[in-house]
Structures are given as C-alpha cells and as structure tokens.
Structure 1
C-alpha cells in the first residue's frame, strides 16, 4: 500500500511541472458546475477531494478539476483552459486520479464524443490514471467515457479555441 501511495505521489509531482500557468487557488465551492453533469466553459479552482490530494504539499490544494459522474475519477486540469487545437506554448495536461483501486500497467481508455454525437475519438493513457496530455480535434463540449482497471465513469470537458 505504501508503494502505491509513493508511486501516486511521484506521479502527482511529475504533473506539477511547468506545463502552463497555474490557476489561482480559491475556496472550495459545491457549485453544480463542479460536477461532470455540466459542460460549463469555466472550471473553477476548488479544493480537491480528500482522496485526490496525495503528493500535493498544500494540505488543501485548489485546482481546476472535474469529478466523474460516479465519483470514481477526477480530471485535474493542469493545462487550463483546455484548447483545440492545442497551443504550441502550452499543453492540455490532465492528471487523472482514481478513487478506486487500479491494476498496475492497466491503461485508462478515453472514448470522447463532441457534444455527445458523432464518431468517438479514442485516447489511451498508459499506466492508468496519472498525468497525460489529452488533445482533442475540435473545440466544444466533449463527453468522455473513461475505462480503467475494470472501472468506468463519465465526465465532460470543454475545449476552447
């Protein structure tokens, strides 16, 4: 268990590199846009769920994030705002943190659909939940079906122009 916690902490520290400007910290808010049920243009910085804080030096880290509909995964958006097409000077960096157990080396598979319609775009994050760059082909509200280690969850992310 300690090895898993140490590995998670290393992944979080790796995600905290200079991939883009950090979002300012604000007080946690239970606003409806905090959940995956909406695809609001703005993702507020809020205090992360307690189970998603491993590796952060601040005991109450505030970051822009979207919680999965089932509450089993969180997408911490280090590359906020996400852009389509991606920008040459910054990345669409997302740290995926799973609340449920993961199998080692099991990938996180993302099936994304723009506004819930059309053909899916598939992305894969090796090693399951962890840091990744997720570039999607167009701006808009993307509905993501996430599958990892026998678990599934859904959420929505907005990519801006």
Structure 2
C-alpha cells in the first residue's frame, strides 16, 4: 500500500464518522416561565445603547469644540506715562501733609505748597506769590521740608532751568532743607532739580513778574 492510498483511507474514514454527527441545535433562550431571556436583558441592552449614543455625542462635541478658534489671550496692560511737571498759575492754600507740619502750632495748618514729583520734598511758599525780580516788600521765602531721612549738615542743591529758554542757575541752601530765600533772575516757569542727603526730586515753580 502506498502512502497516497493510506492518506485516502484515513480521509474517507474521518468523513464517514463525522457525517453521522448532527449539527448542534441553537441554544434555547427561553426560561421555564415562558419569558425569553431577551426580555430579561432588554434593560441592560437599552442602557448600553443609550451609553453608546451619549458617548458618540460627546465625541462629536469634542471634535466640534476642537475646531473652534480660541479667543486670543489679552496682551499686557498699557503702561501709563508719568505725569509731566507743570507750573500752576495759582498755588492754593491747603492742609499740609502730616510729615510737613513740624514747627506749626495749628493741628491742620494750611499753606500754599508744592510737592516734589517723587513726593519726597515739599516747598512751602511763605512768600507767595513768588516774583522775579523779588518784590521790595516781600521776599521769595520758601520752607523746604524733606519727607525722607537727612544727613546732618548736607546742603540742598537746586538746579533751576527756565522753561522755553537755555537759562539755568544754581542755588544752595546750606544745612539742607529748611528756611530759604530763592530768588531767580527772570519770571516764568522754572523746573527745579533738587538734591540732598543722597536723594533727588524735581518740581516746577512759577515766578511772576512785578506788577
């Protein structure tokens, strides 16, 4: 017997034995009380279907949301410019700052005064209005008061420049901020740079012409 004959006999015997084996019947999903298992699992199947719909809706929402353009983030806030010192036509009498009341007897003394642009020094004008040239019956008396600490004996140095011209003069108050008489050569708006005890501040004072 050849090898091919042996293979043919084995195949024929296998087909003959499997031909008499019946196909398996489909499973019986009904229970003893006559209700189908499909009815028992219907709520579960419905819940699964609802979850599938919700999940699909969520995916659609995410897809749509991802296509929307995000609003641009706000840029940095604009930086406001520092106020420019100006010469007021009039300097009204006002209550002095708390730190500038030394030597005054009133609880809330009122005087015409100008604060430095940095707020570190005050020019209390006793000879208001300031005049150039000075009036014969009133001097240009200014009491300088420092808000920041002083070095004893260090002078107050003033560099004054007349607005709209190249005129510049220097004045010195010996001993530092305190009583002084500051005369300037011409009327107009003078821009002052004040230096004392390692501090620097600026302000503008108006000198009026003689009437």
**TM-score of the aligned structures, taking structure 2 as reference length:** 0.58
In 2: Cα distance, 1:113 partner to 1:128 partner:
21
Equivalent residue, structure 2, for 1:98: 146
Equivalent residue, structure 2, for 1:60: 108
In 2: Cα distance, 1:151 partner to 1:116 partner:
27
Out of 37-46 and 147-156, give the one that drifted further.
Answer: 37-46
In structure 2, the gaps of 5 or more residues are: 1-82
Aligned residues: 127
In 1: Cα distance, 2:158 partner to 2:164 partner:
14
Shift of 1:144: 0.2
Give the number of the structure whose alpha-carbon radius of gyration is greater.
Answer: 2
Structure ranking higher in helix proportion: 2
In 2: Cα distance, 1:74 partner to 1:116 partner:
25
Deviation >3 Å, runs of 4+ = none
In 1: Cα distance, 2:129 partner to 2:156 partner:
22
In structure 1, the gaps of 5 or more residues are: 1-34
Shift of 1:119: 3.8
- Mapping 1:11-160, distance limit 5 Å: 37-115=85-163, 117-160=165-208
| RMSD between aligned residues | 1.4
